[in-house]
Structure 1
Amino acid sequence: MNKQIFGIFIITVFTQCSPVITKNKINYSSNEILTPEIFAAGTICTTSESVFDISFSPTGKTAYFTKRKGNEKQKIMQSNYKNGNWTTPEICTFSTDRDETPFLTGDGKTLYFGSQRPIPNRPTKGNFDMNIWKVEQTANGWSIPTALQDIINQVQETGEEWPSSNENFIFSNDDKNFIYTTMVRGSKSIQIYTTKALNGTFTRPQKISGLFDDEKYWKYSAVYSADGNYLVFNSSGAPGGVGGEDIFIAKKTATGWTKAKGIGSLINTTAEESSPRFSRDGKYFFFSREKRTNPEMDGIWSIYYLETKALKFNELFKN
């Protein structure tokens, strides 16, 4: 997995980065999108900057995502959907370090993100450390960022190297039941964990096991489908993939989840695919793909989208 893509930028307007909140459903295209297309080409996605890891306001009219240009630190950005077009993205006021992987809660009040900024009184002693932070929506815009508690955020000890004890993305469909990924200190792979928001903190994380026969395969950037019936995540080199980073899916059962499968050839290619996401109503599926002009150098990541129905999830699990 590419360390540079392990986080996500959120794009926000400079006017306090306030989410737009309505109850209207939104179509992002007047046409059916049944094969992947670059999302908001020329505005959100450009040919000179990498963008990835998108999250939407409850109305779908504000998009938060990660943006990186060259070797600059990636930032969280925002763009608003107005009159059928996306506004020019601007850096969110709280994005002042290497920030990424935005997730906005369903009520639009809390935005979680990954950041390399140091946690007060918990200095990292490793080589590269990301943790999950949050900001709250106030009458004056976003609050000052605060780090999640140590039940979620590990901090690297002396000798630890990325991705050990790194956390950068947390997700929920109901603002109560969350999933996130980390490589617990002393383990050998990044895994998916569940936790519940309770009384201002989180319950002890529980690992989701059995998605692959071998636990050595990394699992990261995990989300639920809008209806909660599918778990979608990234892995690299896992069985059922095409090569490099691919996107995998498991179906909910009475006792947990099925074995994970590659999400299909519409998405997974010999290029790198990452950061699966859904629109709030589940109509659209989003992911990021890297395009390289030089195989020896990092390429440009863009966000792609298509209608979820084109992926035919039910057919993937018929056998």
Structure 2
Amino acid sequence: MKNSTVLLFLMFLMLTSGGFAQKSNGQAFAAKGKDVFPPFKDRYLGQKPPGLVPQLFAPGMVSTKKHVESLYTFTPDMKEFYFNRVGGKYKKTTLFVMQYKNNQWSKASNLSTDIKKYRGRFKPGSSKIKNLAPFKDLPIIGFTVSSKGTYYVYFLKRDGSGHLSCSRLVNGKYEKPEKMDKHINSGKWIAHPFVAPDESYLMWDAEKNGANTPDIYISFRRKDGSWGPAISLGDKVNTAAYEQRPRVTPDGKYLFFWRGDKKARKDGSTYWVGNPYWVDFIQLRKELLKNSH
């Protein structure tokens, strides 16, 4: 991964630092038999859902050509959607929110002056985790957490080395983070994990097999509790560009991820382009499961 990619990565962390990781996925609501989500036709900002070919998410509304949008997340009830934007008139990373009220989505509102207030909706943040044993003083970059409280955290250095570890909640206490096996921890720039609420799968991005841009991988949980091999999400998702930050919608239906690239101007200077994409995760998961056996 090029040094400029590290800068993009750090730019993303300025706002998030794990603070926007959701404690539980909205599928937990569905498991209780409660329809808390907006109607399907409205649920994704009124956008037409994609199939197995990833599509740019909400072009002109969220994804733009003038800016880089890198953070994107629904609240667990899918009645708020957050994203950030930088570039053009936004010299600093700026957070936006859209809210579903009175059967319609509001226009995007700028939250750059009130970020701390909205971070509270995505607790626990990394600062809180780092104050808990056995996470205290560990150089955790980010994390994902399952419905039963298992944390999957990642550690990453500027040279691209790092790894994913997990820590289970046992009898009200967290175990010491244990480094995951080679199925997960292979390649460089291993980052941005996302675990299913029931821990049936784990996704992350990394550079493998000599690649110089990251791709997204998935591992399925085996019957014996171990993790299966890392499976690439395929050439429809993973391209020569940068694919990072997988995240499944709270209803479990769609996979969101970031796709971007570094461009060069005539004067030799460089700039970034990139936006969130989405793809039908139910169909994709079926295809990937076939490849896991």
Instruction: Report how many aligned residue pairs link the two structures.
Output: 256
**In 2, Cα distance between equivalents of 1:175 and 1:94:** 31
1:282 and 2:252 matched: yes
Q: Does 1:211 align with 2:183?
A: yes
Q: TM-score, normalised by structure 2?
A: 0.72
Separation (CA, whole Å) in 2 of partners of 1:44 and 1:200: 40
Name the CA shift for 1:199/1:169 in 2 (closer, same or farther; >3 Å). farther
Q: Distance in 2 between matches of 1:23 and 1:315?
A: 32
Greater RCO structure (CA 8 Å; 6+ sep):
2
TM norm structure 1:
0.66
User: Equivalents in 1 of 2:252, 2:216: separation in Å?
Assistant: 17
Does the C-alpha gap of structure 1 residues 86 and 190 become closer, same or farther in structure 2, counting only changes over 3 Å? farther
C-alpha separation in 2, matches of 1:315 and 1:309: 13
> Which structure has greater helix proportion?
2
Contact 2:166 2:177 in 1 (8 A): yes
CA distance in 1 between partners of 2:174 and 2:82 (Å) = 24
1:90 counterpart (103, 110, 126):
110
| Residue ranges of structure 1 left out of the alignment (5+ in a row) | 11-20, 97-101, 114-131, 135-145, 156-164
Distance 1:178 1:171 in 2: 6
| DSSP-derived class of the 1:50 partner | coil
1:304 is aligned to 277
> What runs of 5+ residues in structure 2 fail to find an aligned partner?
17-28, 30-34
Q: Pick closer, same or farther for the CA change 1:74–1:196 going to 2, 3 Å.
A: farther
Amino acid at match of 2:77: T
Deviates more, 1:275-284 or 1:219-228: 219-228
Distance 2:71 2:148 in 1: 19
Residues in 2 aligned to 1:41 and 1:84: alpha-carbon distance in whole angstroms: 18
Instruction: Give runs of aligned pairs for residues 104-183 of structure 1, distance below 5 A.
Output: 109-112=121-124, 132-133=126-127, 148-149=131-132, 151-152=134-135, 154=137, 165=139, 167-174=140-147, 176-183=149-156
After superposition, what is the alpha-carbon deviation per residue over 1:197-248, rounded to whole angstroms, capped at 9, x for unaligned? 6899854212112225x74533110011355311100102x03x86511111
The answer to whether the Cα contact below 8 Å between 1:23 and 1:58 also exists between their aligned partners in 2 is: no
Q: How big is the shift at 1:84?
A: 5.2
Match in the other structure for 2:59: 41
Corresponding residue for residue 236 of structure 2: 266
Q: Does 1:230 align with 2:250?
A: no
Q: Secondary structure at the match of 2:245?
A: strand
Distance in 2 (alpha carbons) for counterparts of 1:196 and 1:255: 13
> Take 1:76 and 1:317, find their aligned partners in 2: how far apart are those partners?
38
Change in 2 beyond 3 A, CA 1:150/1:42: farther
Aligned to 1:143: none
What does the per-residue CA deviation read over 1:68-105, in whole Å, with 9 as the maximum and x for residues that have no partner? 23684434432224545452142255537xxxxx9x8x
Task: Give the share of equivalent positions with the same residue, in percent.
Answer: 20
2:37 to 18, 24, 45: 24
RMSD (Å), alpha carbons: 3.6
